[in-house]
């Protein structure tokens, strides 16, 4: 298995989740475990995908659930630094318009 990592930092009014490596059925549970404990009420959640090398449908499902949770709790979700492959997954699934996107990594957002 290739190297995978997920981390989170808190900044004023937002959380930033950094994901590195392949985001798939085997690694999504780690992202979910990391984000489930975050209090998203009124917060912005930036998911930095700039170091993601692959994304599958399990990852798409996880991101959709995370988006739903953020909105249900009065927060927002933004995907940052998505690669062409990640954007293709969003396009093919017809879900790209559901996500706020920022072309650069999270540190360049805001």
CATH code of 82's domain: 3.30.750.24
Per the structure, the count of domains in the chain is 1
Of 109 and 46, the one with more pLDDT: 46
What residues make up the domain containing 17? 5-108
Q: How confident is the model at residue 2 (pLDDT cuts 50, 70, 90)?
A: low
pLDDT score for 21: 97
pLDDT score for 83: 95
**In this structure, how many other beta carbons lie within 10 angstroms of the beta carbon of residue 67?**
21
pTM above 0.85, yes or no: yes
């Amino acid at each position: 298995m290739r190297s995978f990592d997920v981390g989170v930092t808190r900044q004023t009014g937002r959380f930033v989740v950094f994901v590195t490596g392949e985001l798939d059925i085997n690694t999504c549970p780690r992202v979910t475990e990391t984000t489930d404990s975050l209090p998203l009420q009124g917060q912005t959640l930036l998911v930095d995908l700039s170091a993601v090398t692959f994304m599958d449908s399990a990852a798409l499902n996880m991101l959709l659930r995370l988006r739903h949770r953020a909105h249900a709790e009065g927060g927002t979700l933004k995907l940052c630094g998505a690669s062409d492959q990640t954007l293709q997954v969003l396009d093919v699934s017809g879900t790209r318009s559901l996500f706020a996107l920022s072309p650069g990594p999270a540190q360049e957002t805001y």
